[in-house]
Each structure stands twice: as C-alpha cells, then as structure tokens.
C-alpha cells in the first residue's frame, strides 16, 4: 500500500477489541428447559469447571450471577476466588471489591488464599498502596493475616521499591506474633540490597541464622548478585568464599565479571567450579556466551557452545538467541543462519524472541524481501508475530527508504489485531520523515495521543531529524517546544539534531541560545554534540571559537574521533594555518585515529592554496605510501593549483581538460583523443604543465 503526498488517512489505527466493554448485550444463559430439582443439584466442581473454561469475562459474570439468582448453587470461597482471578486479569478492581462485599453479605468465608490472590493482582497492576489498603481491611472480613499474606504484601511493596513501607510492615508482623520464614527474609534481603544497604543485609542474614531459619540459595545469591551489579565484584568474590559453593552464586559472580568484560576472571571461575565438582548449568554457559557475543567475540562463544555439548549440557533457546544476535552484530550473516539451522537440528523450537532476533539481523544486513519471507514462515509455524516483530520490519523498510513496504507492514499489523505501541509509531514516523512526508508524520504523532499511546522522546527526535534534514528548522524548533505538551523531555540527541539544523541554516544566535538552554537543563554533551558544534563554527568561520570548544571537549574527558580531527584540519587549512593542520595530521598517526581520504583532501587543499605545488606533490606521494588512494577531488585540487601560473588564454583549456577527466573518461581506460589533443597545446617545457600531464596520466591509467 502506497502513501502518496497529501494523503493523510491511509494509516488508520484500529482501536483494540475489548469484549468486556463491547459485548454488552450478549444473551445470558437460561436454564428454562431444566427442571428445578435438577438445578439445585449443581456441584462445586461443575461450576468451577464452567468458570475456568469461559474465557469471556462478560459470559463468566453472567453465568456466575444467573446460577446464584436461580438458587441452583450457593457460591463457595473457591468459585469466588476463580472469578476474582478473572477480574484481576482484566484489571477490573471495582468488580473485585463488589465481589468481596457480596461475600461479606452472604456470609461466605474469605480465605487466606483469596486475599493473597487480590494482593498479587494489585502487584501485577503496580498498585502497591492499594494492596496495603486491602491488607488493613482483612479484619473486616474476619481474616487473620498469616506469614503467607505478609510475604505477598512485602513482595508487592518491593516490586515498586517502596522501601519506607517495608520496615513498618515487618515490625507489625513481629508485633502480631507472626514468625517470618525464609521467603520473608529473602524479600527483606532483596529490599535492603536494592536500597544499597549491603551491610544491613549481611546482618539480617546473621539474624536469620540465629533464629533457626536456614538461608537458602536465594538468600546467599541475593547479596552476592547485588554487589556484582554495583560493580563490587572483588568484594562479592570475597564474600562468596564464606558461603556454601552453589551454582546460582557462581552464576551471579560470572555475570559480574562479564559485566566488567573481565573474561579472564570468568574462565577462572569456570575452572574453579569444575575443580570443586560443581557442574556449570545452561544458565552459566548462556551468561558467558551472551557476554562474549556482546563483545563481538563469536568464535570464542562457539567454543563455549562446544564445551557445553562435550559436558552433556544442552543449550536452550536463550543460548541460541545470544549466538544468533552475536553473529549478526559482527555482520556474519552466514554464521547467524548456521546457528539457526543448528538450533532447529537440536530440536529447540524458536520462539517469538528468536524470530525477532533473526528478522532484526536480516533487516540490518540483508534484504527486506528475505525478512518478509521469515515473517511468513514464522506465521506458518504457529508463532504469532508481536509488536516488536512488526516494528523491526517497519524500521527496516524505513531505513531502506521504502515507505510502501513500511505501510504494508503497518496495515498488516493492524489487521492481525496487534495494536501498535510507541516503538511501532516511532518507526512509522521515521519512515515518513525519511522521504519528506513531514506533515503526515506530524499527523501520525497527533494520532498517537488520541489512541492513548503518547509519543516519547525518540518519536520527537525522529521528526526533528526529518525536519532539519529538509531545511525546515523553524518547524523543528516548534516540534521541540511541543514536547512538554506530551510530557517528553529532550535528550542529547534532540539537541544534536537541532544544533545540526541551525548551524546548516547559518542560524548562529539560535544555535548559541540552544547551547545555553542545553547547559541550563544539565543535558550532557557527547562526542556528536562537540563535533556538531565544531563543524558549525568552522562553517561560519569562527576559527577561534573552534579552538575554545576543543579545549572544553578535552577538559570534559571526551576523546576526539576521526570526524573531530578532520573538522579541525579543515578549519586550520581554511584559516591559512596549514602547518598546524599538518602537525595535527602527523599526530593522528601516533594515536587511535588514522588519517583518511578526507584528512588528506583538506591538507592538500591548504597546501596548494597557501604553500605551493611542490609540497602538494610530496603529500601525494605520502598518500600513496600509506595506501590512501587519491580520488577525483584530490586531482581537481592539484590541477586547479597548477593552473594558477597559466596565462589567461590557456586557463579555459585546463577547465576543459578537467571536464573531460570527470565526464568523458572511464576508470582504467586510455585517454580519449580529445583529451590527448588538448594536452598537446600545453607547453611541454613548463614544469607545472609536466606535472599536470603526469597527474592526468595517473588519473587515466591508474
């Protein structure tokens, strides 16, 4: 489906289908054909089975109510619990409260399990405070809190990092005479560790042992894992030495070393495990393989896979996903496909994450046609694509400039009933911006808010980039100003895109104002920011400001890259400081950045303009020694420089030669007769013309 200029209704968003709200007039099951004596004989297991099988919450509620009104069955704590579970999955908290009140009126006992279910429901919905309020209402239902209820409440508070509420609940628990168990202590240990109180967690571990509650694998691993996540791997290693050696703890330590990319420490731990008679499990190997793949060392990852097979440890879907991702990360498509095929041979069926990894790799390094074929294969194998799948494909089509393909995937996603999230919207906005359909992209952002999917910072970055690329910098600034309307905060990328647009449009005052605003908002400058500002200052001739900005960059600890060096070399050459440009070029050879064709082109321009042709000839030879092949821009600079001393009657002849060089000659072809004839008109005794002749011959025959 093609999106044409001016068409704004082609990307239609279908609202999600919610049966509970839409199917209001579904007929209620009636039991008129059954005799009353039969209705009164409904058993609990029959009602439980019916409620469990009914996937439609509206029909489940209707059935629940109908048998209650018909006096065919008196609901039990179990049937109420099942309906509470169903309402919880649909997020109907008012319905749950209504059922609780109904139970109280009917004198149905509210069991411990029922309140555990309700508290778990609040936890899943991220409503820890509501769970706490529910806990305080237990006495209204004649339900005494047990350690099980306390544990679920503490877990709900921990899930939202409500540390200030956890300690009072624990104190209240001890006041009620409820003895904590190992689960209670593990929740408290996690809370202390997440709050950075490692010492308190270690004291709690001692208290736990003193009270006769033996710590389990989770207890020890929680503390060790927390230290590793905070980068205190050596401290974690020392602490682990006093704990019983268990696989989960080794996994936590290995994960910590992998986080620091200390693979020497990783392999030392693996060897220690084997010496201690502890077999690494699939989680151990997968952690190592995933970290090696992230570091781009896929060959060593495959060696670890071989080690797994040798020790009889079968890889799982996560192991293979890491390997596939790793091969695509380093651009080895064949390796990624080989791992995929091996996964299939091992009988490990790919899940949606595996398919998404494969599709993402193909979109990045291969053809979109192949990615679509994988999508179709995925559907044939019964693995339903999710929003990530569609977003990846839309992004792939967007980056290849194929709006038609992106639109087809968008519509395919909507038809399949998969509601687009902010990532899918952002990819579609980017697709529209890349081909200049900026107004349609803006309309899509407005539509996001209407469908309860507000745009995020990445969405605005996409449209700001598009507006700046097409020279609509004022519109980009208005888009930036509207971010607050949607609760979005600009990040470094936002400012980088705006600064690039402002400098390209020579809007210096606006750019400087934006830099001040960036500092005021404490937005961190990155390498792209510095390079953008340096390039912008060079473009408008502010060479002194370039040096000041370079000083600020170095003081901040930001290391320059090849773009930084090339920008500075260009600035020096433009300002006539060719010697400084050459010094900078020489210093690059001793660092991590090596001069490239852009570096030499700038220096060649500066040398030819300010120093003369002889030195330019030396740089030409130097380029060849360093295997930097001159391009047409280099030859253009040299030829035009050699034409400075040519009399005015022959200047046009040189321009003609350049035109012939650029337009009429093919690489590796002999000189055309017209070019040869023109060269004969030049004075063969003039050294510059001799150089020109050699340059042209090199260009023609190289």
Contact partners, residue 404, CB within 8 Å, separation at least 6: 1, 2, 3
Domain shared by 378 and 284, yes or no: yes
Instruction: Report the distance separating Cα 448 and Cα 453, nearest Å.
Output: 5
Domain shared by 285 and 381, yes or no: yes
Domain shared by 298 and 373, yes or no: yes
Q: Among candidates 374, 305, 386, 311, which has minimal Cα distance to 346?
A: 305
Q: Is residue 209 included in any domain, yes or no?
A: yes
Domain shared by 236 and 285, yes or no: no
Q: Is residue 336 included in any domain, yes or no?
A: yes
Instruction: Report the distance separating Cα 371 and Cα 48, nearest Å.
Output: 45
Domain shared by 272 and 296, yes or no: no
From 385, 417, 440, give the residue that closes a domain: 385
Question: How much of the chain, in percent, has pLDDT values that exceed 70?
Answer: 85
Give the per-residue pLDDT at 30.
Answer: 41
Q: Is residue 517 included in any domain, yes or no?
A: no
From 332, 352, 385, give the residue that closes a domain: 385
Instruction: Report the distance separating Cα 541 and Cα 128, nearest Å.
Output: 59
Q: Among candidates 223, 220, 286, which has minimal Cα distance to 255?
A: 286
Q: Is residue 465 included in any domain, yes or no?
A: no
CB 279 within 8 A of CB 311: yes
Domain shared by 329 and 255, yes or no: no
* HSE of 372, CA atoms in CB hemisphere, 13 A: 12
Q: How many domains does the chain have?
A: 3
- State the CATH number of the domain containing residue 347: 1.25.40.10
Instruction: Report the distance separating Cα 358 and Cα 373, nearest Å.
Output: 11
Output the six-digit token pair for 309.
């097979």
Instruction: Report the distance separating Cα 460 and Cα 440, nearest Å.
Output: 14
Instruction: Report the distance separating Cα 242 and Cα 205, nearest Å.
Output: 13
Question: In the predicted model, what is the mean pLDDT of the chain?
Answer: 82
What are the residue ranges of helices labelled H in 451-491?
Answer: 457-469, 473-481
Q: Is residue 117 included in any domain, yes or no?
A: no
Give the per-residue pLDDT at 309.
Answer: 92
pLDDT digits (tens, 9 = 90+) for 500-513: 999 999 999 999 99
SS (HEC) of 188-252: HHHHHHHCCCHHHHHHHHHHHHHCCCCCCHHHHHHHHHHHHHCCCHHHHHHHHCCCCCCHHHHHH
Average pLDDT of the residues in 126-131: 86
Q: Who has greater pLDDT, 437 or 641? A: 437
From 278, 302, 334, give the residue that closes a domain: 278
Q: Is residue 474 included in any domain, yes or no?
A: no
Q: In 12-160, which ranges are E strands?
A: none
Domain shared by 283 and 377, yes or no: yes
pLDDT digits (tens, 9 = 90+) for 41-75: 678 788 888 888 877 888 888 888 888 777 778 88
CB 42 within 8 A of CB 34: no
Name the residue range of residue 254's domain. 180-278
Q: Is residue 83 included in any domain, yes or no?
A: no
Q: Is residue 664 included in any domain, yes or no?
A: yes
Domain shared by 359 and 293, yes or no: yes
Domain shared by 199 and 209, yes or no: yes
Among 80-84, 211-215, 262-266, 658-662, the range scoring the smallest mean pLDDT is: 658-662
Domain shared by 326 and 270, yes or no: no
Domain shared by 300 and 238, yes or no: no
Q: Residue 195 pLDDT more than 90?
A: no
Among 208-212, 393-397, 681-685, the range scoring the smallest mean pLDDT is: 681-685
pLDDT digits (tens, 9 = 90+) for 257-308: 999 889 999 999 999 999 989 999 999 999 999 999 999 999 999 999 999 9
Output the six-digit token pair for 666.
């093919």
Give the per-residue pLDDT at 357.
Answer: 94
Average pLDDT of the residues in 555-568: 89
Output the six-digit token pair for 204.
């709690």
Domain shared by 330 and 370, yes or no: yes
CB 178 within 8 A of CB 206: no
């Amino acid at each position: 489906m093609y999106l044409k200029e001016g068409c704004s209704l082609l990307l239609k968003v279908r609202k999600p289908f919610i049966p509970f709200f839409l199917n209001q007039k579904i007929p209620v099951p009636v039991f008129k054909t059954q005799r009353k004596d039969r209705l009164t004989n409904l058993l609990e297991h029959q009602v439980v089975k019916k409620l469990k099988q009914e996937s439609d919450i509206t029909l489940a509620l209707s059935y629940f109510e109908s048998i209650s009104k018909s006096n065919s069955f008196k609901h039990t704590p179990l049937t109420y619990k099942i309906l509470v579970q169903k309402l919880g999955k649909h997020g109907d908290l008012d319905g749950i409260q209504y059922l609780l009140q109904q139970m109280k009126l009917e004198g149905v006992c509210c069991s411990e399990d029922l309140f555990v279910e309700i508290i778990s429901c609040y936890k899943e919905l991220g409503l820890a405070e509501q769970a706490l309020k529910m806990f305080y209402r237990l006495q209204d239902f004649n339900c005494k809190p047990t350690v099980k209820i306390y544990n679920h409440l503490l877990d709900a508070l921990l899930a939202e990092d409500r540390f200030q509420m956890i300690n009072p609940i624990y104190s209240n628990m001890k006041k009620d005479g409820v003895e904590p168990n190992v689960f209670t202590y593990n929740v408290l240990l996690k809370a202390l560790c997440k709050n950075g109180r490692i010492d308190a967690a270690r004291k709690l571990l001692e208290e736990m042992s003193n009270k006769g509650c033996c710590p389990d694998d989770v207890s020890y691993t929680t503390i060790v894992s927390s230290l590793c996540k905070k980068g205190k791997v050596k401290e974690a290693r020392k602490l682990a030495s006093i704990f019983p050696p268990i696989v989960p703890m080794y996994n936590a330590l290995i994960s910590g070393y992998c986080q620091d990319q200390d693979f020497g420490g990783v392999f030392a731990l693996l060897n220690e495990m084997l010496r201690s008679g502890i077999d690494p499990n699939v989680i151990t190997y997968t952690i190592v393989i995933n970290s090696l793949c992230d570091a781009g060392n896929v060959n060593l990852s495959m060696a670890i896979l071989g080690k797994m097979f040798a020790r009889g440890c079968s890889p799982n879907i996560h192991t293979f996903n890491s390997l596939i991702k790793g091969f695509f990360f380093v651009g080895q498509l064949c390796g990624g496909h080989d791992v995929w095929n091996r996964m299939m041979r091992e009988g490990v069926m790919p899940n949606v994450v595996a398919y998404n990894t494969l599709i993402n790799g193909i979109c990045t390094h291969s053809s979109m046609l192949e990615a679509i074929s994988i999508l179709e294969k995925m559907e044939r194998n019964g693995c339903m694509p999710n929003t990530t799948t569609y977003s990846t494909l839309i992004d792939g089509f967007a980056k290849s400039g194929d709006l038609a393909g992106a639109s087809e995937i968008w519509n395919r996603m909507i038809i399949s009933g998969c509601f687009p999230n902010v990532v899918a919207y952002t990819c579609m906005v980017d697709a529209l911006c890349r081909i200049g359909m900026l107004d349609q992209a803006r309309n899509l952002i407005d539509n996001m808010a209407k469908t309860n999917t507000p745009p995020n910072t990445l969405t605005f970055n996409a449209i700001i980039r598009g507006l700046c690329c097409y020279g609509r910098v004022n519109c980009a600034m208005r888009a930036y100003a509207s971010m607050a309307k949607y609760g979005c905060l600009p990040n470094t990328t936002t400012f980088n895109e705006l600064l690039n647009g402002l400098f390209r449009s020579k809007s210096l005052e606006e750019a400087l104002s934006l830099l001040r605003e960036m500092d005021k908002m404490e937005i961190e400058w990155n390498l792209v920011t510095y390079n953008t500002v340096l390039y912008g200052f060079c473009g408008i001739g502010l060479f002194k400001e370039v040096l000041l900005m370079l000083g600020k960059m170095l003081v901040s600890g930001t290391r320059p890259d090849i773009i930084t060096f090339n920008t500075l070399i260009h600035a020096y050459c433009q300002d006539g400081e060719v010697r400084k440009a050459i010094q900078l070029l020489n210093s690059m050879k001793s660092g991590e950045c090596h001069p490239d064709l852009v570096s030499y082109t700038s220096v060649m321009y500066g040398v030819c303009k300010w120093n003369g042709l002889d030195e330019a000839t030396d740089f030409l030879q130097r380029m060849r020694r360093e295997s930097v092949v001159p391009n047409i821009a280099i030859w253009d600079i040299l030829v035009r420089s050699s034409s400075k001393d040519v009399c005015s009657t022959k200047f046009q002849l040189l321009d003609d030669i350049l035109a012939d060089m650029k337009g009429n000659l093919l690489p590796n072809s002999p000189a055309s007769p017209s070019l040869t004839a023109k060269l004969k008109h030049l004075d063969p005794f003039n050294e510059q013309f001799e150089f020109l002749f050699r340059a042209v011959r090199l260009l023609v025959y190289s």
